[in-house]
């Protein structure tokens, strides 16, 4: 996966399996985990897009105020 200039991979946890208790078959390594880096890259991309939009709005307002003086 490549998002916002950051590449990331899906990784399996290297944590040991949970000891069996009763009839439960749940283990820590059964569930695939998305890379934290990929999640962070997505959030950073959305934040950057939001900040760029806010900057454009503020710049436009500043120019409008300057013209109306």
Return per-residue pLDDT of the chain as tens, 69 residues.
555 566 655 555 555 555 555 555 554 444 446 678 888 889 999 999 999 999 999 999 999 999 987
The pTM (predicted TM-score) of the whole model is: 0.44
Distance CA 19, CA 25 (A): 9
Domain boundaries, the chain: 2-68
Compute the 3-state secondary structure of the chain and give helix, strand, coil in percent, each to the nearest 5.
50, 10, 40
CB 48 within 8 A of CB 4: yes
How far apart, in whole angstroms, are the C-alpha atoms of residue 48 and residue 66?
A: 27
């Amino acid at each position: 996966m490549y998002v916002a200039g950051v590449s990331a991979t899906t990784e399996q946890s290297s944590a040991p399996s949970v000891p069996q208790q009763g009839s439960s078959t749940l283990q820590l390594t059964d569930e695939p985990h998305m890379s934290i880096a990929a999640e962070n890259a997505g959030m950073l991309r959305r934040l950057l897009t939001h900040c760029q939009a806010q900057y454009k709005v503020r710049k436009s307002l500043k120019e409008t105020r300057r013209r109306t003086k």
